[in-house]
Amino acid sequence: MADRFEDLRVFVAVVSAGGFAAGAEQLGVAKSAVSRRIRELEDRLSARLFDRTTRRVQLTGTGREFHDRAVELLKCLEEAEEAASSASCELKGRIRVAAPVSFTTYCLARAVSLFLDRHPAVTLSIDTDDRVVDLVRDGYDIAIRIGELADSSLIAQRIVTIRHVCVASPALIERLGMPQRPEDLARFPGIVYSIRDASSYWRFADNVVASVTSQIDFANGDAVREAAIAGLGVAMLPTFIASDAIRRGELCMILTKHMRPPIAMYAVHPSMRNQTARARAFIDFLVDSFGKEPLWDRDLFGDRTTEGSQTSAKNVLATSSK
């Protein structure tokens, strides 16, 4: 029976990693061992689970059905093991998390040290990807997502408020002037975050969508920020990415009175029945760590105005008003 559960773990790892070699790397074993396990599993089931080509492996219809059952069985095994060892009150095992790239870099990576100190028998595996992953198919315990959530069977718990700011470099404002309304951005070049469509990316309060001509786009928020600092255009960024550059005077907040309402960041996970105690503890930790006023927003909005958010912005405004 133990071997059969190990077969399931290997099979699920190959699916979540997208291939035999990647699955072997994830498990820390040789690719030949993974290939042998899958071959023996298919022989025992008398069914082909993967269609193999020289470039990739893809689940067959039978493989997809078997994968869903395998994930369920492994979750049940984890729950049984946790229940049996609950007397020790020690959390054990791995938590797989999918999280946005920039949020992980600036916020999450630093915060998790406290969680790991509290739970030394827990290991965290954090995959950074701004795109939406399939938690069940890819074997994640938790995904961290920003903004409106699609209807699904997944459970969502709010972590923290996320604010966006429209920003530009002092040099760009000095050259083109300080915009007063979203419509004024028509004379500015723009930098686009390509994972979002333009209608949502350039949306301001009252559902006003600015018309901005863009010559460059990135699929990463850090790259958008750096391009804005370089003066390539205006950009729309969450404050956890832009705040340090704003405080240093490298970027100015513009059109602050026209910004759309804040949105939320959520921890999304499968049904409570399939959630492990360690995953629940990690979600509680995220809420406790980030649920109050975000550190990156402190002193950013207080008494600041669009024109006074940075000394450089004041100088630009003075220059442009002459």
Q: Considering the entire predicted model, what is its pTM?
A: 0.65
Helices (H), the chain: 2-17, 20-27, 31-45, 61-84, 101-103, 109-118, 135-138, 170-176, 198-201, 221-229, 239-247, 277-290, 311-320
Q: By three-state DSSP, how is residue 233 classified? A: coil
Give Cα separations from 6 to 3, 12, 250, 276, 284 (angstroms).
5, 10, 53, 19, 30
Does the pLDDT of residue 215 top 70, yes or no?
yes
> Quick one: three-class SS letters along 258-270?
HCCCCEEEEEEEC
pLDDT in the model for residue 274: 60
Confidence class for position 171, pLDDT limits 50, 70, 90:
very high
Least confident of 6-15, 156-165, 287-296: 287-296
Residue 88: predicted pLDDT:
52
Q: For residue range 64-94, what is the model confidence (pLDDT) as tens digits?
A: 889 988 888 887 777 666 665 554 567 788 8
Distance CA 200, CA 192 (A): 11
